């Protein structure tokens, strides 16, 4: 069974993580721990507890778009910078790809952001995809492309609520 857990450096001693993108593997192995300690990125692991392996992970941090970037991304004119959250990385080990782990990670991230939106103001969730294949994964799950950058995508906080908020009992 796969289960999400807050980052724990002990998990890095398990089976090596390999998602097919060396940059994402190296970041987890070498930099996730120090980023966690500095509180500048928060990482969540997807653990296969039976196999003792990391099946996937994502990391998130705050973000801000300049007024000009916010306007060109979303097509609405902006007078002020746009507060945002960034899904900085999301990756599934090759042995687990194609079985729903990526969606599980993304939905976990979005649900956490929805909960955060009750306490922290941000208008959009941004992801910078590494390549078109990854961009298509986010498009499939409701993200929209920036108007001026094919590999940058976003969801509004309103989209998040519409997708994940529990229906009003009335």
The site for ligand COA (CB under 6 A) is made up of 19-21, 24, 90-92, 97-103, 129-130, 133-134, 136-137, 140
What's the closest the beta carbon of residue 8 comes to ligand COA, in angstroms? 20
What's the closest the beta carbon of residue 97 comes to ligand COA, in angstroms? 3
What's the closest the beta carbon of residue 9 comes to ligand COA, in angstroms? 21
d(CA 38, CA 147): 33
For residue 58, indicate whether it is catalytic: no
Which is nearer to ligand COA, 137 or 154 (by Cβ)?
A: 137
Q: Helix/strand/coil (H, E, C) string of 90-133?
A: EEECHHHCCCCHHHHHHHHHHHHHHHHCCCCCCCEEEEECCCHH
Which is nearer to ligand COA, 78 or 112 (by Cβ)?
A: 112
Catalytic residue among 57, 58, 96, 138: 138
Distance in angstroms between the alpha carbons of the first and the last residue of the chain: 35
- The residues near 130 (Cβ < 8 Å, ≥ 6 apart) are 21, 23, 24, 151
Which is nearer to ligand COA, 69 or 93 (by Cβ)?
A: 93
What's the closest the beta carbon of residue 71 comes to ligand COA, in angstroms? 24
Residue with the closest Cβ to ligand COA?
Answer: 102
d(CA 152, CA 150): 6
With contact defined as beta carbons under 8 Å apart, do 96 and 56 qualify?
yes
d(CA 102, CA 138): 10
DSSP state letter for 148: T
Which is nearer to ligand COA, 80 or 133 (by Cβ)?
A: 133
Catalytic residue list = 138
């Amino acid at each position: 069974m796969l289960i999400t857990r807050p980052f724990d450096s002990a998990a890095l001693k398990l089976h090596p993580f390999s998602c097919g993108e060396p940059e994402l593997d190296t970041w987890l192995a070498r930099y996730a721990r120090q980023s966690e300690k500095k509180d500048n990125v928060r990482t969540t692991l997807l653990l296969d507890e039976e196999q003792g392996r990391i099946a996937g992970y994502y990391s998130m941090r705050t973000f801000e778009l300049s007024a000009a970037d916010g306007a060109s991304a979303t097509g609405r004119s902006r007078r002020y910078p746009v507060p945002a959250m960034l899904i900085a990385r999301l990756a599934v080990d090759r042995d687990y790809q194609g079985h729903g782990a990526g969606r599980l990670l993304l939905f976990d991230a979005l649900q956490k952001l929805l909960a955060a939106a009750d306490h922290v103001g941000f208008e959009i969730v941004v992801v910078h995809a590494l390549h078109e294949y990854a961009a298509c994964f986010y498009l499939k799950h409701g993200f929209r492309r920036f108007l001026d950058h094919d590999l940058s995508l976003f969801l509004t906080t309103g989209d998040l609520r519409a997708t994940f908020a529990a229906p009003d009992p009335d």
